[in-house]
Structure 1
């Protein structure tokens, strides 16, 4: 886990704290001189892997409220940078916060521009951080944390004046809806209890008059004033800060405030620096003053952390996946051993059963081969049932035809079918028969019966009929007349046919 360190910079010195286990521990105080800066450089070098946040309490801080058109994205950022350059020329330590949109048709946006107007006061400390490569998360001001302090202390005023005591100075902030629209630091010339009480009373009136002059509030508006001070000074402050009809004072004990913020260690000097540092550590503002150049090492540190975290997650995921694979492999090995045991048991039972079978003189492998071959031949077997059925239907329709012989086979085409092509073997049915003429019939009538028989056979388009021998041989020069050869026409006439049917492979 990356350690976090907080730096508190005021006018005279810089203090360093470490945030660990919800507790702030001071690690060093460095004066604003060459010796203090050198010591700070050594301190940062020894903790250059920590993330640093700097909280500033300086007088050189500016606040301006601007109204800009409704814009989004880069156009809005460009306009805000231009406005910051107009009001705070010469400082890179600037930021902005939206105050909402005006309820008009144009929807203009009110923007709070803030800047630390003396960058030379920060540069010696920031340069030491940059030289050591220490990641700087951001630069914040005490004014930014005023709204968060009021919220933690359950102060519900929509707008109020917040006065706190730290660094022998009084921080005065005008807070509206949790944002400090104006803030200044007033020096504390007298650190006695009476001097503190007198300064709070005087500064409250001055700030109220200033806000009236800047038209932030009306002349007759009553303004709540919240003062966070040491418990020893509260009675004197209560006597000095009397309600005058314009200011309503609320006094808060900073030790009680520390308990409400759940500080594990109560500040020994009873000042408010520890309260703001605790708020910065637990709930930092979303806006900060550091530029991208100042945050370069912090961005690299975050990227490095993300890469390491991604690598660790990948390593953990790979380890879990490898463990899952090992577990699955072990399960598979156990199942394989169990299946082998089952297979051995089944094989033993099979041998016991086969030992009771009668001996047939053929080993199991040969018997298995024979049965497989038989099954294959059985599946390829073709029977003449379709051919005989078709022939029988034709014979039934022509009673003059008498069947004398019938052959059926599957094989190559005969000489009479040599010109016919087929994708597979040919089913050949050879039909031998006679035409038995009825009494008084002529040769012409015999030919008509034979042609009718052929026509019935040809009704099935899947077969081809070849006439091997016709019942009556006629030459082209011989005429056919009715009544010719009446004695011969009474003799049965023999014929031979081939019925061809394709047989798919």
Structure 2
């Protein structure tokens, strides 16, 4: 992964650390004044353009607990922003954290507000990085970062006071059921940096927590003191358990092992002596959380750096995909070439075997092309040649639906255009050649079927005969591509035909009404 620059800010100085490949390396320290900031700019200008992470451990860090109406969505975010701005107007470095809801009433949100009330201790360092166009990833608080450390150490006491010695003094952070409620920074060290009056400072903190009703009287406060192994005996002598206070001591080595903060380089206690800040720096470098305090425009170069890294990553991914695609195409081309050679070899062998087999066969009657053409013509005749079976099937279906119609005669033929016209130069006595349309070449020809039938009705019931013929003709006309024409109806009512007969006389042999239909089927 990319290397990171970590800047630990305290009240009087700033110390640079570098994180690379799981190893934390301590760099130079700079005084918190104009000369120190100039020296820091000279140092940062020679470093790589890796992101910078600012970890602040300042006494001017305020914490307030408020209740806010429970509102979701954009309106809730706007309400929270106004509430934080109302609480801390004099500083741009503000933070809020929702820690649950009240159990009674309208169940408002319980919110922890915090801010760095003296922005002048942070702004010069952030503006120096912006002037050098270095990416500033975020501004973090040791107190807020210790919440993750408590979860990693699995400290689940209802009233927990985490005490750590850092550059600015002893940091005492109070947690209630795992949630941060209050923090204070006390000197409690002598001129040589040795701890003094740690137990007394813890007692003052407990008295304050009781006065502001964060703890009820009689509640037990569990104080966890993180010290290096060499200083644990001195701190232990200053801390005595009381009726409402118990002390537990953890070494930096055990904290690093339990929280998974061991580094690949020097141990944590060798980086800053007896201080606990390297453990928090390792936690920050590995987690890379979102910035605790808002930076606004001071974070623009980090956004540009992140966009550039994303573009580089996307370009690398596209390059890998293109290389993979090119490799796959080259491999397929190689396989295709090998298959081509194999197929050409097999084709040559098949040609040789074919020629050998054909040489042993007797002389052919015709060529292979003519035989193939004959097979093609035979298949075309079988599928496209004209046949009366199709129209006979249609007539059969109509007769099944008309039991009073009896078929007398069928006359089927193929309607070939120009079949009866003599060809130029041909004798009239010679037979006309058969057209290829009869065989369905190149397409099927129309077919004509003349149907003669009679109606099995009473001898003088001509109306029933006409109706039966009409129903029969309509049933045939429903078939697609079939045209029905009445050539001779059962009763000829044309004006040019004489209508004669005798009513009421019985013939020797009863005659039924006959009719003739012309059916034309067009493909």
Shorter-chain TM range is 0.7 to 0.9
Aligned to 1:215: 213
In 2, Cα distance between the equivalents of 1:414 and 1:330? 62
1:175 aligns with 2:175: yes
TM-score by length of 1: 0.75
Q: Following the alignment from structure 1 to structure 2, what is the Cα–Cα distance between the partners of residues 387 and 172?
A: 105
Cα separation, 2, equivalents of 1:110 and 1:279: 27
In 1, are the aligned partners of 2:58 and 2:168 still within 8 Å (CA)? no
Question: Distance between the aligned counterparts of 1:464 and 1:232, measured in 2?
Answer: 121
Residues 288 and 480 of structure 1, relative CA distance in 2, 3 Å threshold? closer
2:245 to 237, 244, 247: 247
Structure 2 partner of 1:358: 362
Deviates more, 1:153-162 or 1:22-31: 153-162
Give the distance between the partners of 1:4 and 1:23, measured in 2 at CA: 11
Tell me the distance in 2 between the aligned counterparts of 1:211 and 1:409: 113
SS of the counterpart of 2:297?
coil
Task: Report the equivalent of 1:131.
Answer: 131
Distance 1:244 1:463, change over 3 A: closer
Q: Within 5 A, what are the aligned runs for 1:163-242?
A: 163-167=163-167, 169-188=169-188, 190-191=190-191, 196-197=195-196, 199-242=197-240
Offset, 1:166: 2.0
CA shift, 1:327, in A, is: 2.2
Report the equivalent of 2:145. Answer: 145
- Is the Cα–Cα contact under 8 Å of residues 48 and 135 in structure 1 kept in the other structure? no
Residue 328 of structure 1: aligned partner: 332
- Cα deviations across residues 276-301 of structure 1 (Å, max 9, x unaligned)? 21222233555611323222222222
Q: What are the within-5 Å matches in structure 2 for residues 433-452 of structure 1?
A: none
Hey, what's the Cα distance between the residues in 1 that align with 2:46 and 2:186?
A: 36
Greater Rg over alpha carbons, structure = 1
Partner secondary structure for residue 134 of structure 1:
coil
Match of 1:83 in 2: 83
Map 1:379-390 onto structure 2 (within 5 A).
Answer: 380-382=384-386
Say how many residue pairs are matched. Answer: 440
Structure 2 residue 49 is the aligned partner of structure 1 residue 49 = yes
Give, in angstroms, the shift of residue 149 of structure 1: 3.1
Contact 2:163 2:170 in 1 (8 A): yes
Q: 1:265 aligns with which of 261, 264, 267?
A: 267
**What do you get for the CA RMSD once the two structures are aligned?**
4.1
- SS of the residue aligned with 2:89? coil
The residue correspondences of 1:380-459 to structure 2 (distance < 5 A) are 380-382=384-386, 411-412=416-417, 424=445
Q: Find the counterpart in structure 2 of residue 433 from structure 1.
A: none
Distance (whole Å) between structure 2 residues aligned to residue 8 and residue 378 of structure 1: 95
User: What SS does the aligned partner of 2:225 have?
Assistant: strand
**Corresponding position of 1:21:** 21
Change (3 A) 1:350 1:274: same
Match of 2:431 in 1: none
In the alignment, the residues of structure 2 paired with residue 170 and residue 378 of structure 1 have an alpha-carbon distance, to the nearest angstrom, of: 105
Unaligned runs of 5+ in 1: 391-395, 416-422, 430-455, 468-474, 482-497
Which of 337, 342, 349 is the aligned partner of 2:341? Answer: 337
Q: Could you tell me which of 307, 312, 317 is aligned with 2:311? A: 307
Match for 2:298 among 252, 271, 294? 294
Partners of 1:408 and 1:161 lie apart in 2 by 112
Partner SS state of residue 157, structure 2: coil
Closer/same/farther in 2, CA of residues 221 and 386 from structure 1, 3 Å limit: closer
1:69-88 deviation line (CA, Å, top 9, x unaligned): 11112222222222222221
For 1:383 and 1:100, the matched residues in 2 are separated by 90
Task: Please state whether the residue corresponding to 1:91 is helix, strand or coil.
Answer: coil
1:87-110 CA-to-partner distances (Å, cap 9, x unmatched) read: 211111111111101123522110
For 1:407 and 1:160, the matched residues in 2 are separated by 109
Seen in structure 2, the aligned counterparts of structure 1 residues 466 and 104 have a Cα distance that, compared at 3 Å, is closer
| Structure 1 residue 15, shift from structure 2 partner | 0.8
Q: CA deviation at 1:364?
A: 3.4
Structure 1 residues 160 and 356: alpha-carbon distance in aligned structure 2, compared to 1, 3 A threshold: same
| SS of aligned partner of 2:170 | strand
2:161–2:221 Cα contact (<8 Å) kept: yes
**CA gap 1:259/1:504 in 2 versus in 1, 3 angstroms:** closer
SS in 1 for 2:195: helix
SS in 2 for 1:103: coil
* Deviation sequence 1:198-224 (CA, Å, 0-9, x none): x21221121111111211112322211
